[in-house]
Amino acid sequence: EAAVTQSPRNKVAVTGGKVTLSCNQTNNHNNMYWYRQDTGHGLRLIHYSYGAGSTEKGDIPDGYKASRPSQENFSLILELATPSQTSVYFCASGTGGAYEQYFGPGTRLTVL
């Protein structure tokens, strides 16, 4: 069965600190996605990737960077974390053409 894992599951960070959220998929999917979920906003796309070495900006990329070093791994980086980035972050993988996406369990990030 498709598997997307995220680490850490919970994270408390300080304002101005660097945060890295990691995602690993064993589906051998080319596409990977990072979303944030906030009450009242649903899911919003931050960055996505079509394969190793590629990253693309989504709808809300400001304040975030992404890295796709391999087919399996996709990281989201907050260089200077701010309280407004407190949220739940979801990673997903997908084949692209079929549009189906498979989600990880989420990371709850609190920036104090």
49 touches another protein (CB under 8 A): no
Distance CA 60, CA 100 (A): 21
Q: Tell which residue, 91, 110, 109, 93, has the closest CA to residue 23.
A: 91
Site string for another protein, 51-70 (x = CB under 8 A): -------x------------
Phi, psi torsion values for 37, nearest 5 degrees: -125, 120
The single residue among 20, 43, 60, 61 that binds another protein, judged by CB under 8 A, is: 43
Nearer to another protein, 5 or 15 (CB): 5
1 touches another protein (CB under 8 A): no
Q: Alpha carbon 17 to chain centroid distance?
A: 18
Distance CA 45, CA 24 (A): 18
4 touches another protein (CB under 8 A): yes
Peptide bond just before 8 cis, omega within 30 deg? yes
- Tell me how far, at minimum, the Cβ of 65 lies from another protein, in Å: 19
Which residues sit at the interface with another protein, rule CB under 8 A? 4, 31, 33, 40-43, 45, 48, 50, 58, 90, 92, 96-97, 99-106
